[in-house]
Structure 1
Amino acid sequence: MRSRGLAPLIAPGVALGLWSLGGAVVFLSVLGPQGAALRQAVFDALEATWMVMFLWWLGAAVLLGWLAQRARRRLILAPQRLLGAMRIAAADETMDAVPEIAHTPETQALAQEIDRLLGQRRELASYMARLVADASRSVAEQRDQLAALMTELDHAVVVCNREGRILLYNGRMRTLARRISGRGGGDSAGAELIGLGRSIHALIDKAALDHALDRVEARIARGADSSASAAQFVTASDAGHLLRASVAPVRRTDLAGLGGDEAGGDAADPAALTGFLLMLDDITEDHDRQTRRDRALQDMYERSRAAVANMQAALEMLEFPDLGAADHDRFLAVIRDETAAMHQRLLADEEAAAQDIGLRWPLHDMQGADLMAAAVRRLAATAGAPITTQPMAQDLWLRIDSFGLIGALDQLARRILALHDDPVLWLRLTPAGTRAHLDLGWVADGPALDPRVYSALPDEPMAQPVAGASTVREVVDRHGGEIWLERARGGIGDGVGGRFFRLLLPRATADIAPPESAIGSRPEFYDFGLFAAGHASADDDRKLSELAFTVFDCEMTGLDPAGGDEIIQIGALRIVNTRILRGETIDQLVDPQRSIPEAGIAIHHITPQMVRGQPLIAEVLPVFHRFAADSVLVGHNIAFDMRFLKLKEAATGLRFDHPLLDTLLLSSVLHPAEDSHALEAVAARLGVEIGARHTALGDAVATAEVFARMIPLLARQGIETLGQARAASDRSQFARLRY
């Protein structure tokens, strides 16, 4: 950078010196032999006055250099910067003025005219945007409604195009991917498995899925509708999880309300399969329970067979008429012992089966306030009178079978109403650690009944049994809870007959929101534009707008990878279909197994305590490598980060042979007249704010926003494909930097 600024200053002086020297050589050479005396006189004069001549030349050189630099800034750099600003403004429809960079009245006047045209263009763009928004509002609403419905489903759902590239997935799908990834509960866990534009084959065995799709297409060919064309199969993930999948077709006719006219497929066949919907369930635990249950049944059969054989042998011996009294008693004891042992085993098996049924009964998360509102409505209708309640925490969530639980409360309320004359019923819900107390009480006039009468109510048959349970206690048992009778002391329910049933219920696991990060935005889970765009492989002849990019940044202990410095943090996110996917990220600290210099801590603020116990680089790089599969790696001064990754290839067995793009080099291509191409300077030129500088994910997010804004600017300069972008980068003067 420094040599580029000095060259315009030195060049005029050098040119003046060479011109003067050349003139002297020509003058002396034309004198010929007869001018020897004159030449000697010239040399004598130069020898006596060379310092004056040098100073005269130096002054002239400085003056010419200053004039040349001034002329360069006014006549070359100013128009180039104005051109760069115009291109940025042309790519950003929200910009209505170019920066104050003009240095001459002419360029200033030109900038003012450009500002006027930009204002007109913005008004026109705003008008056209309103027209387009009015025309597409209905389609957008349908897309958003579908995406919202998919997000709220209890099943893990993903929609793919025919090639298996993911177009949509819901929150349950991301949770399933996080669990399958085996990387714990981190916010970025599973991001290497599920994401827009990714291949579903990273999660589902390709052969099994292709076989299911073949069955779906065969059913469609026979004239079956979409609901009858679905296929089911079971497969195992790489981590050993057993997945049950249901595949339903998405045909061209199904896309009519979602911009399907642009979708791929056979235009002559509107029923052609353009994609598929995949519903997934992790049945690993169910399969394990079924296996245990089958094994328990088999054990019970074998034990019972042996017991029955012993009893049968004893009975046969008892039939002998000459059997002595001692033998008779001994064989009777065998029968009694085997019968008692079998009875105990049956009781134990019955209890285990009941617990298993409770575990298998579907429970769902429900806010406590919603449960109380539904229960109050039901009990008020039963009692024909209002139900008293107490204030409760709004953030209390339960994991329950709400239908069965409200039915159990209604059964208890009916029996209490039958035992007392016009009792006042009340409800209360309070947290109790990892559980919650749901109390149903009553206050009645007249003498109190024997507590044993109330205690028997949970075990009475229900007048209106709910599925899978015939008593109130069975409903509570399926929640893994308990029910008991208590006397009210003080406050609500205190008085004659002031008793209540307390139900111990499980609380739902709180969904803790992830901490605010550099992303600052909710994740995106769908992009129907991918039906048309699909996903192009990272070939040089592909347009940049068609490719998937992984933008990343690393923080290190120092600047010398060959000298032992290590990566301590990796941050990455993806760009697909020109969209920055802020919800699909990696933000991982790495234990470097060495000290972190204090000078580095002052920059990246990563301390040894923060990385202690974090995964090693050998564990993190395979996840990042999978996250970046089938994409172009993008970074700012990416050669430095890649040097660290390349040095780890031998130890990890990975090859980072992805195509590379560097926003530093691309900036020098787009804006060659600018003095600085640091990330801060480039971001400022393109109107990008850097939220968390010198954090891996923060820098990656800023680089992604910069790169996304560069794509249309590159296209305006005729750089549309990956190959053209790489070739232009290679021509940059910064491409010669090596690490």
Structure 2
Amino acid sequence: MNARIRFAISVVILGLLMTGPFVITALLIWAGAKAPERALLVQLIVPHLTLGATMTTFGFIVGLLVIRYLFRQYVQGLLKMGESLRLMLTANRNFRVVPEGPPEVRQLAAATNDLAQQRDGLMDDVDKQIATAKASLEEEKNRLAALMSELAQAVVVCNLDGRILLYNSRARLQFRALAQGSTAVAGGALIGLGRSIFSILERSQIDHALEVVRQRLHKGSGAAIANFVTSARGGQLLRVQLVPVLAIGDESSTREMSGYVLTVENITRSLEQESRRDQVLQSLTDGSRGSLANIRVAVGNLLDYPDMEATVRERFVGIIADEVERMSQRLDQTMSEFADSLKTRWPLEDVLGIDIIAAAQRRIEEKLALPSKTEEIDEALWLRAESFSLVFSICGLAFRLLEHYQIKELRFRLQPFGNLAYLDIIWAGHSMSSETFYTWETEPMQVGAETSPLSLRDVIDRHGGEVWYERDKAAHRDFFRLVLPIAIPETVTAAETAEESDVRPEYYDFDLFDFSDQSIDLDRPLVDLSYTVFDTETTGLEPAEGDEIIQIGAVRIVNNRMLRQENFDELVDPERLLRPEGVRIHGITDDMVRGQPNIDAVLPAFHDFCADTVLVAHNAAFDMRFLQLKEERTGVVFSQPVLDTLLLSAVLHANQDSHQLERIAERLGITIEGRHSALGDALATAEVFLKMLPLLAQMGIVTLRQAIEASQKTYFARVKY
């Protein structure tokens, strides 16, 4: 029962105890008296009613003050002590109950502090034992951190839902360089723990690579990896290798994945260098052709006319010398221009031809509802190919056949021919012209609503193959023939395979591997959600009167852990002068914000940063009011749920005198650094929020919905800006 309700009940009982006996006694006397006695009673009592009422009222007031004193000293004092005990048990071991109030409460507080001191001694012993046991594990983690930081390649580890579990500094730098639009304002692309890799890389290509890896795992292949090339938002080309992370403790013969490791390399510059080299070689070829023609003519004349005059002979010899010199200079220049370039080709991998056909069949049946069959398939034939682009090319041809000729069925044939493989795509009933095939070959590919900037000719050329159209008149069938290089896969011995399968990389064992969903569900436990804790610095305290945001700072909480490195810290040009009284508080001056991005650029970047997370702030109504007033101007709407540490403090510590951030941090044993800077306050608020989670759980508040409902019932929830 609420303390205020109990106090009100106590006051009512006091009033009844003071007036009840007199009233009941008077009624009994009045009921037993006769008429003359009643008249006598009236004459005796009425003149003294005023004095009696005054004395009764005075006594009631005195009793009320006594009850209020006792209630504050004992009831509220014990409630406050209970809140302090919860702080000592969960959030702040060093917190102690202040001995205050009557002697009995002080003795209880002293005994409580003694018990806490004894408990701390026992916990220190346990902590020492745990620290000793964790020493080797920490050493392994440090080795992993050092290894990851020194890797030259970008490495990202994801679970099967595409949530990022680990990334190294190289990956952060690489994706930061690729950032465009709103993410560029925050200094990098949205890579971070708990975020989706699909915001950076194309989902369809990763899904295809996972399918290839699963097929190889199912067949027991020793090299269950996949490679593909994709393009980033800015048009940069990335080469990606996907390696599976196998589930732990799976004793079945079929190996299942729990996640995957991506190594990412930006090959845009390499491809540009290759294109430039090809242009230089073409220029060398074209330039040398004229020189060789001149030399050929001069040599021919010298041979045909041996008796020519000396001056003429010298002229022809001079022509030869000049052309040879020009060719030599041209060759030296060419070698100088691309001597330092690296040879970068379209990444090809060894893949079973039957796997390519099977993947194409599934995609054609799912996307186009077109039946397909196989005939004359060499199941042991390996191709040297990039599977995603090749499968997309096959599906693109099927889509065009279905769209233009309404074919009923598609057949596949795969046979070796020397060092090449013939992959035939066969249909019956409709022939096509060579002009139509040329158009299909050179136009960008399409499968339903999916498109690719590459053409069929691009894909075939990058495989070093060929494609043509043929008609089998005897069988009344037509087919496309894809000529592809054959690969000889490396053999892996059974001993090597068994040895690899027994190795369990310790650094893959993260709690996030088990996360299957990160959507904001109001009934999801608080400890399972991801949060963006933020704070703003402003020109003043009146958002509706023209005050503006001058700084936004934020930090992320994922898997119940604050990620200090994944933060947002941006100054904002308010496009107006700052108030002197505000400068004295936050220390931000007009010179510091002048020339910084305005709110139109910063707010979309912050919106991207906190996507798919719950917002957390201290006195969130103030900060959210500034954001809401910019919705019409920027078009940015923050629609996710919001938690307020001020309101949560009022829920947890209803009997405490203050709910300011400094006082809350002091109670929870948190030191605030960088107070009145947006990022500093956000970091402090995040630490406060993490300390509050176990306290809320003790009160039975475990879901987001329960936390929001409890917050709205507090007095401070009525404050509006």
TM-score by length of 1: 0.65
Asked if the contact 1:246/1:280 (under 8 Å) is kept, the reply is yes
2:668 aligned with 1:694: no
Asked if the contact 1:151/1:170 (under 8 Å) is kept, the reply is yes
Report the CA distance between 1:172 and its aligned residue. Answer: 1.4
Report the CA distance between 1:561 and its aligned residue. Answer: 2.5
Report the CA distance between 1:313 and its aligned residue. Answer: 6.3
2:239 aligned with 1:247: no
SS in structure 1 opposite 2:149?
Answer: helix
Which residue number in structure 2 is paired with residue 155 of structure 1? 153
Alpha-carbon distance between aligned partners in 2 of 1:587 and 1:102, rounded to the nearest angstrom: 43
Matches within 5 A, 1:392-541: 528-533=510-515, 536-541=518-523
Output the amino acid matched with 1:590.
Answer: V
Matches within 5 A, 1:670-709: 670-709=652-691
Report the CA distance between 1:179 and its aligned residue. Answer: 1.7
Asked if the contact 2:247/2:257 (under 8 Å) is kept, the reply is yes
Asked if the contact 2:646/2:661 (under 8 Å) is kept, the reply is yes
Matches within 5 A, 1:624-703: 624-703=606-685
Report the CA distance between 1:246 and its aligned residue. Answer: 1.3
Asked if the contact 1:535/1:547 (under 8 Å) is kept, the reply is no
2:292 aligned with 1:294: no
Alpha-carbon distance between aligned partners in 2 of 1:346 and 1:116, rounded to the nearest angstrom: 89
Q: 1:565 to 1:320 in 2, by over 3 A?
A: farther
Which residue number in structure 2 is paired with residue 143 of structure 1? 141
Alpha-carbon distance between aligned partners in 1 of 2:315 and 2:43, rounded to the nearest angstrom: 147
Which residue number in structure 2 is paired with residue 181 of structure 1? 179
Report the CA distance between 1:603 and its aligned residue. Answer: 0.9
Report the CA distance between 1:729 and its aligned residue. Answer: 1.1
Report the CA distance between 1:325 and its aligned residue. Answer: 11
Matches within 5 A, 1:328-407: 338-356=323-341
Asked if the contact 1:667/1:682 (under 8 Å) is kept, the reply is yes
Report the CA distance between 1:532 and its aligned residue. Answer: 3.7
Report the CA distance between 1:129 and its aligned residue. Answer: 3.5
Pick aligned residue for 2:267 from 283, 297, 317? 283
Alpha-carbon distance between aligned partners in 1 of 2:185 and 2:638, rounded to the nearest angstrom: 25
Alpha-carbon distance between aligned partners in 2 of 1:267 and 1:357, rounded to the nearest angstrom: 45
Alpha-carbon distance between aligned partners in 2 of 1:135 and 1:245, rounded to the nearest angstrom: 38
Report the CA distance between 1:182 and its aligned residue. Answer: 5.0
Alpha-carbon distance between aligned partners in 2 of 1:689 and 1:119, rounded to the nearest angstrom: 22
Asked if the contact 1:234/1:244 (under 8 Å) is kept, the reply is yes
Alpha-carbon distance between aligned partners in 2 of 1:330 and 1:649, rounded to the nearest angstrom: 81
Alpha-carbon distance between aligned partners in 2 of 1:599 and 1:134, rounded to the nearest angstrom: 52
Q: 1:111 to 1:358 in 2, by over 3 A?
A: same
Q: Mean Cα displacement is larger for which, 707-716 or 527-536?
A: 527-536
Asked if the contact 1:590/1:611 (under 8 Å) is kept, the reply is yes
Alpha-carbon distance between aligned partners in 2 of 1:310 and 1:534, rounded to the nearest angstrom: 72
Pick aligned residue for 2:217 from 196, 217, 220? 220
Asked if the contact 1:93/1:125 (under 8 Å) is kept, the reply is no
2:287 aligned with 1:303: yes
Q: What percent identity do the matched residue pairs reach?
A: 43
Q: Mean Cα displacement is larger for which, 596-605 or 613-622?
A: 613-622
Q: 1:622 to 1:324 in 2, by over 3 A?
A: farther
Report the CA distance between 1:115 and its aligned residue. Answer: 2.5
Partner deviation per Cα, 1:470-489 (whole Å, 9 max, x = no partner) = xxxxxxxxxxxxxxxxxxxx
Asked if the contact 2:274/2:341 (under 8 Å) is kept, the reply is no
Which residue number in structure 2 is paired with residue 555 of structure 1? 537
Alpha-carbon distance between aligned partners in 1 of 2:332 and 2:664, rounded to the nearest angstrom: 74
2:582 aligned with 1:600: yes
SS in structure 1 opposite 2:552?
Answer: strand
Report the CA distance between 1:359 and its aligned residue. Answer: 14
Which residue number in structure 1 is paired with residue 363 of structure 2? none
Q: 1:126 to 1:42 in 2, by over 3 A?
A: same
Alpha-carbon distance between aligned partners in 2 of 1:358 and 1:241, rounded to the nearest angstrom: 18
Asked if the contact 1:78/1:101 (under 8 Å) is kept, the reply is no
Which residue number in structure 1 is paired with residue 233 of structure 2? 238
Output the amino acid matched with 2:696.
Answer: L
Q: 1:60 to 1:313 in 2, by over 3 A?
A: farther
SS in structure 2 opposite 1:172?
Answer: helix
Which residue number in structure 1 is paired with residue 488 of structure 2? none
Which residue number in structure 2 is paired with residue 73 of structure 1? 72
Matches within 5 A, 1:89-108: 89-92=88-91, 94-95=93-94, 98-100=96-98, 102-108=100-106
Output the amino acid matched with 1:181.
Answer: A
SS in structure 1 opposite 2:190?
Answer: coil
Q: 1:327 to 1:77 in 2, by over 3 A?
A: farther
Report the CA distance between 1:541 and its aligned residue. Answer: 1.7
CA root-mean-square deviation: 4.6
Report the CA distance between 1:680 and its aligned residue. Answer: 1.2
Q: 1:185 to 1:577 in 2, by over 3 A?
A: closer
Alpha-carbon distance between aligned partners in 1 of 2:288 and 2:325, rounded to the nearest angstrom: 12
Alpha-carbon distance between aligned partners in 2 of 1:151 and 1:204, rounded to the nearest angstrom: 22
Alpha-carbon distance between aligned partners in 2 of 1:575 and 1:184, rounded to the nearest angstrom: 22
Q: 1:185 to 1:335 in 2, by over 3 A?
A: farther
Q: 1:40 to 1:710 in 2, by over 3 A?
A: same
Q: Mean Cα displacement is larger for which, 243-252 or 317-326?
A: 317-326
Asked if the contact 1:79/1:102 (under 8 Å) is kept, the reply is no
SS in structure 2 opposite 1:585?
Answer: strand
Alpha-carbon distance between aligned partners in 2 of 1:317 and 1:202, rounded to the nearest angstrom: 69
Partner deviation per Cα, 1:593-617 (whole Å, 9 max, x = no partner) = 1111111111111101101121222
Which residue number in structure 2 is paired with residue 205 of structure 1? 202
SS in structure 2 opposite 1:194?
Answer: coil
Alpha-carbon distance between aligned partners in 2 of 1:150 and 1:102, rounded to the nearest angstrom: 54
Q: 1:342 to 1:118 in 2, by over 3 A?
A: same
Q: 1:69 to 1:278 in 2, by over 3 A?
A: same
Report the CA distance between 1:117 and its aligned residue. Answer: 3.1
- Unmatched runs of 5 consecutive residues or more in structure 1: 254-260, 361-524
Q: 1:66 to 1:606 in 2, by over 3 A?
A: farther
Alpha-carbon distance between aligned partners in 2 of 1:205 and 1:683, rounded to the nearest angstrom: 43
Alpha-carbon distance between aligned partners in 1 of 2:67 and 2:315, rounded to the nearest angstrom: 122
SS in structure 1 opposite 2:228?
Answer: strand
Asked if the contact 1:553/1:700 (under 8 Å) is kept, the reply is yes
